[in-house]
Structure 1
Amino acid sequence: MKLHLESRDMCEWSGLGDLREGLRAKLARGESGKVSPFLLLAMSGVSAGEQRDCSELWMRDRQAACADDRAALAFTFDPAARPKIRIGYLSCDFHEHATSLLLVEMLEAHDRARFELFAYSYGADDGKSMRPRLEAAFDHFINIEPLSNIDAARAIHANGIDVLIDLKGYTQHTRTAILMFGPAPVQVNFLGYPGTLGTTMCDYIVTDGFLTPAASAKDYSESFAYLPHSYQPHGRKGLIGKAPTRADVGLPESGFVFCCFNQAYKITPEIFDVWCRLLLEAPDSVLWLLKNDKAEGNLKNEAFSRGVTADRLVFAEDLPQIDHLGRLQLADLVLDTSPYNAHTTASDALWASVPLVTCSGDTFPSRVAGSILSAIGLSELIATDLDAYFDLAYEFATNPTRLATVKAKLAANRLTTPLFDIEAYTRDIEGLYEIMWRRYRDGEAPASIGAVPIAG
């Protein structure tokens, strides 16, 4: 599996179809723990049901191995009401990281008269300004990195956490396994992993009606905790740097700029086919991608095999957030990946006033950008298949009036629609936390809660 991750990060796609069918066959045989759930999120043709099966199998033996320790711990909880609900956030990304960039203003907006906030951090302090800002956003910032998973669970339980929020799922450096010991009476899957954990570890997954229509409940082990708009938080304080010149960032002086700053592992051969077709049919256009030394050569070769010369691909260096947002303003249109959509990169583009075209599927990761676009009133930028996705992008690249119209709508909606209204978002998610806690105190099992789901 490590080789597969490296191959996807390199955009090495040979044998990808055979690999997918091999992984699906392993799932069908019930080979426990053989396939990492994260691998399937960016793999075309994999259903949400298969993603759940993969998560269930991934954790089956791991949960069995810790059953005796869990029984020995035998955590109990005091459901008595107290002045503040204690919320714990569990992550290794409390530093300059995409998750923290999304989350920080929500944490700062929490009602400290009603909630007491605990951070359980098992990641390094990178020495950048985000770390002290996050530390200040919590009532208690607790480093559990040196602790074993069992001892970390003991520490969380000892703090009397009412609702424990996992921000990692099955992503890199995760210690979601801490949740296997049940250190809190209510445990929640939120933001960091776009899909089900497929076990009894979490009672709820924070979502919205576009991401997970009610009919998709069978594909999730968690109950849906619905927010009324997008599940993704994003504030309004992110500074946007001055736009550089095109020459400063290696873009040609003229021509349409398609852009995708998603990580390379999200790029599939199917989506790259569409991108190259756009480059061929939109004269003088270029595709602006995030620089990845391991993938650059392969992407140029893949483009050449599709009739596109290497000079049509431009690679952007990694920059601090403020400068990244500044240069984004040079893009004309962001092209989303599928089936693993843009997350932070999608809302960042809209914050920088650049429209985004996405192709929504049937899985959580394939519907994230559609959720974000819905919350900013731009659902017309959501395609339901790759042909429609091409047609949308081509129309914007060749019809300046249509592009100007959607940019004007984005500018008008940017501060008047729910997507970036972090105060309202925070009140909504706090309402969910209160319902979760109240249901537990009243002896009620987890169930779908929150706003009436919007049509997906």
Structure 2
Amino acid sequence: MEAALSDEFGRDIQLAQAYYGEGRFREAVARITNLVRLQPFSEVLYNFAGAANAGAGEFAEAIAEYDKAIALNPDYAEAYSNRAAALRELGRFNDALESCEKAIQRQPDLADAHANRGVVLKELGRLDEAVASYDIAIRLRPGFAAGYYNRANVLRDMKQLERAVESYDLAIQLKPDHADAYSNRGNALQELRRPMEALDSYEAAIRLRPAHAEAFFNRGNVLAELKRLDEAAQSYAEAVRLNAGFVEAQGRLLFQRALMCQWNEGTTAFDPPPPGIGDGATSPFGALALEDDAANHLMRSKIWARAKYPRTQHRGFKAAPATEPIRIGYFSADFHDHATMYLMAKLFETHDKNRFEVHAFSYGPDRQDGMRQRLRNAVSAFHDVRDLSDKDIADLSSSAGIDIAVDLKGYTQDARSGIFAHRAAPVQINYLGYPGSMGVDFIDYIMADDIIIPDEKRHFYSEKVISLPGSYQINDDSRLISTNIPERSALGLPEDGFVFCCLNNNFKIRPDQFELWMRLLRNVDGSVLWLLRDNPWAEANLRNQASARGVDPNRVVFADRAPAPDHLARHACADLFLDTFNCNAHTTASDALWAGLPLITKVGDGFAARVAASLLSAIGLPELITNSAEDYENLALELATNPAKLAAINRKLLENKATTSLFDSELCTRNIEQAYELVHGRFSRGQSPVHCRVPMTVGV
């Protein structure tokens, strides 16, 4: 009888080990259950059962098995360590950390326990301690490739990118087939602005694991940065093919195709809408031009935020009596020759330095151009924080006593929203960079106006709304316009024909709107459409689309990018700016109006689709705002065929530039300062954020 039991036990343990090694975890659990029946007092079997359940994704069951092992042997360090890993998977990070500590107390030289502690500490945002734990694990097990790999991931989060690359290299040296290490090494190299090396690293990951969807996605990102847009789209498409549930890759693929104006024939809208409003997360910015739906934009932001900032530890700030000066921190990657600075430069210069201490926190490239110097000359302190982690930047802001942190990036390119997840200041505001809600609890306010976010649309924003008078958009009323206005012929434009223009980025152009523009060209003899030359794929596709709609493709003319003063001057060669619908012209709209070029728009649902209406209202031209595509088309046709009416609009625009609020930088600055005083005062009195409306400043 005993021999039969022994044979049964031996057979089952071999099968259980084989199933476990093959990843057939549920079958392993079944065999181990029989083993436990034969030997009910074996802590090793319960530990094995825990590992098999964890492999099957049954983490609660795994913890129960580990607890049985520990009950039999309270000094079983390995079971405590494994239990910690299962607790981590359930999001019970403090319990997991406690379990790691118990494992280490019982067996200080257990490398896995120190490594698991590092993983948990990373989840808790305690990155320095996580690196220290990995260092111990590596010292205890010098050939610990996983330890070097995980250590590198934390160093990357800490923005210690060179050290991260070194640690990835050590992981790869120990485990040459470590595809994930190659892929994440590429991410670190991309952040170091070494894109060709990053590309090589992604290629190595894909050679090692041809079905590595994440590596294809990362490869797509660096190819997009290198302006190899067609290859980027192919790489994203391969990531989606390999992993149909890879929602972030789906979103990037759609946006990449929008950049190239690569449309499916006949597509006028998305049904269903772009990804990111179900279970998976994708960048909210990419969808702004693909659909105009404020509810979906908010949902997409919430899902993205839950995926990217799920467990960040917020610092607490205690209310205290308000004092002056109020310290304002502006955070951006764009403090150089960039659209954000074109709008904001005068704000920094006209801030009341007696009432406000202005700090700039720059986490973008160190470009020493004229706009960067202009900013440095205007602010109280300039902090170059590109090499610091999100938490370290938030700590620096806190130590500088910043009262209000203003996020100028939101979810746009190179954003670092994690800074605000760590609470850089008691009051945090979403302003200007991202035209929509962040969908998070750590951004208190969004600055807008009554056109951008009317009262009935406030529920589409997680932030409380600060409604500024006039337009929310600050402008620089000292921007220079070159006196050298080119001849139309030098720009490829007809000397006498009517010039419709839209100098927005091409990704904002959607098929239904392009169809409308082509009807205008067909109905206005000799007219042309003047667009921005963004990339060769978009140019070719737009011309092909024109031809498919019965319009000579040569009537679609493209403008190269130009220095700001020259770009503003050439607006004189156009007759009418045609706005895009889902994502309006923003800086581009104020460029046109500042240069004296009328613009027509259709007001939409979401923030991004209401910006041009805000600008036109602030400059006193509500007659150029329409509420439907039909009204927009009719207005464009009327202005193109009624020279007297268009001339009257031109005169009104030139007069209103000098008398309305849109291009009055000092007035807009005072309005924004009123907003800061209002929200800072509420915090100082211990009051929660609320929707608020700033009255128009007078006497400026």
TM over 0.5: yes
Task: Output the CA distance in 1 between the equivalents of 2:693 and 2:326.
Answer: 18
Deviations 1:146-173 (A, max 9, x none): 0011111111111111000000011111
Contact 1:209 1:452 in 2 (8 A): no
What is the Cα deviation at residue 125 of structure 1?
A: 2.8
Is 1:249 matched up with 2:504?
A: no
Find the residue that maps to 1:409 and give its secondary structure: helix
Q: 1:57 aligns with which of 303, 310, 325?
A: 303
Task: Output the CA distance in 1 between the equivalents of 2:270 and 2:495.
Answer: 41
Find the residue that maps to 2:662 and give its secondary structure: helix
Greater relative contact order, per chain length (Cα 8 Å cut-off, separation 6+): 1
Tell me the amino acid that sits aligned with residue 264 of structure 2: S
- Counterpart of 1:8 in structure 2 is 258
Task: Output the CA distance in 2 between the equivalents of 1:161 and 1:127.
Answer: 25
Deviations 1:378-414 (A, max 9, x none): 0000011111000111111111011101001111111
Deviations 1:227-269 (A, max 9, x none): 1100001122111112111122111121001011000110101
Q: 1:161 aligns with which of 370, 382, 402?
A: 402
Is 1:31 matched up with 2:279?
A: yes
Task: Output the CA distance in 2 between the equivalents of 1:289 and 1:258.
Answer: 9
Is 1:146 matched up with 2:387?
A: yes
Cα separation, partners in 2 of 1:331 and 1:24, compared to 1, 3 Å: closer
Is 1:288 matched up with 2:530?
A: yes
What is the Cα deviation at residue 294 of structure 1?
A: 2.7
Contact 2:533 2:539 in 1 (8 A): yes
Task: Output the CA distance in 2 between the equivalents of 1:308 and 1:144.
Answer: 51
Task: Output the CA distance in 2 between the equivalents of 1:135 and 1:176.
Answer: 23
- Counterpart of 1:419 in structure 2 is 662
Deviations 1:64-95 (A, max 9, x none): 242xxx16xx3434623332000000000000
Tell me the amino acid that sits aligned with residue 434 of structure 2: Y
Deviations 1:175-210 (A, max 9, x none): 122111112100000000001001112111000001
Q: 1:393 aligns with which of 622, 626, 636?
A: 636
Q: 1:21 aligns with which of 250, 271, 278?
A: 271
Tell me the amino acid that sits aligned with residue 214 of structure 1: D
Contact 2:276 2:284 in 1 (8 A): no
Is 1:336 matched up with 2:579?
A: yes
Is 1:230 matched up with 2:471?
A: yes
Contact 2:446 2:466 in 1 (8 A): yes
- Counterpart of 2:244 in structure 1 is none
Task: Output the CA distance in 2 between the equivalents of 1:8 and 1:267.
Answer: 8
Contact 1:279 1:286 in 2 (8 A): yes
- Counterpart of 2:435 in structure 1 is 194
Is 1:116 matched up with 2:357?
A: yes
Contact 2:671 2:694 in 1 (8 A): no
Task: Output the CA distance in 2 between the equivalents of 1:156 and 1:451.
Answer: 26
Task: Output the CA distance in 2 between the equivalents of 1:101 and 1:325.
Answer: 12
Tell me the amino acid that sits aligned with residue 20 of structure 1: F
Q: 2:378 aligns with which of 122, 125, 137?
A: 137
Find the residue that maps to 1:287 and give its secondary structure: strand
Contact 2:481 2:595 in 1 (8 A): yes
Is 1:273 matched up with 2:531?
A: no
Cα separation, partners in 2 of 1:388 and 1:246, compared to 1, 3 Å: same
Q: Gaps spanning 5+ residues in structure 2: where?
A: 1-250
Q: 1:432 aligns with which of 675, 678, 682?
A: 675
Q: 2:340 aligns with which of 79, 99, 106?
A: 99
Task: Output the CA distance in 2 between the equivalents of 1:173 and 1:303.
Answer: 34
Contact 2:618 2:661 in 1 (8 A): yes
Contact 2:252 2:286 in 1 (8 A): no
Contact 2:450 2:467 in 1 (8 A): yes
Is 1:263 matched up with 2:505?
A: yes
Cα separation, partners in 2 of 1:78 and 1:219, compared to 1, 3 Å: closer
Task: Output the CA distance in 2 between the equivalents of 1:60 and 1:372.
Answer: 33
Tell me the amino acid that sits aligned with residue 329 of structure 1: A
Task: Output the CA distance in 2 between the equivalents of 1:451 and 1:7.
Answer: 41
Find the residue that maps to 2:271 and give its secondary structure: helix
What is the Cα deviation at residue 330 of structure 1?
A: 0.9
Find the residue that maps to 1:390 and give its secondary structure: helix
Q: Give the structure with the larger helix fraction.
A: 2
- Counterpart of 1:184 in structure 2 is 425
What is the Cα deviation at residue 219 of structure 1?
A: 0.3
**C-alpha root-mean-square deviation of aligned residues, in Å?**
1.7
Tell me the amino acid that sits aligned with residue 432 of structure 2: L
Tell me the amino acid that sits aligned with residue 270 of structure 1: D
Structure 1: 4+ residue segments shifted above 6 A: none
Deviations 1:266-296 (A, max 9, x none): 0101111111111110000011111122310
Is 1:378 matched up with 2:640?
A: no
Tell me the amino acid that sits aligned with residue 286 of structure 1: V
Task: Output the CA distance in 1 between the equivalents of 2:509 and 2:362.
Answer: 31
What is the Cα deviation at residue 26 of structure 1?
A: 5.5
Find the residue that maps to 2:607 and give its secondary structure: coil
Contact 1:75 1:183 in 2 (8 A): no
Tell me the amino acid that sits aligned with residue 327 of structure 1: R
Tell me the amino acid that sits aligned with residue 193 of structure 1: Y
Contact 1:119 1:138 in 2 (8 A): yes
Deviations 1:113-150 (A, max 9, x none): 00000001011133321110011111101011000111
Contact 1:32 1:60 in 2 (8 A): no
Contact 1:339 1:360 in 2 (8 A): no
Task: Output the CA distance in 2 between the equivalents of 1:61 and 1:20.
Answer: 24
What is the Cα deviation at residue 362 of structure 1?
A: 1.2
Is 1:42 matched up with 2:289?
A: yes
What is the Cα deviation at residue 32 of structure 1?
A: 3.9
- Counterpart of 1:449 in structure 2 is 692
Find the residue that maps to 1:354 and give its secondary structure: coil
Cα separation, partners in 2 of 1:23 and 1:339, compared to 1, 3 Å: closer
**Of the two, which has the highest radius of gyration?**
2
- Counterpart of 1:301 in structure 2 is 544
Task: Output the CA distance in 1 between the equivalents of 2:339 and 2:285.
Answer: 17
Q: What is the TM-score with the length of structure 1 in the denominator?
A: 0.94
Q: Gaps spanning 5+ residues in structure 1: where?
A: none
Of residues 177-186 and 9-18 in structure 1, the stretch that sits farther from structure 2 once superposed is 9-18
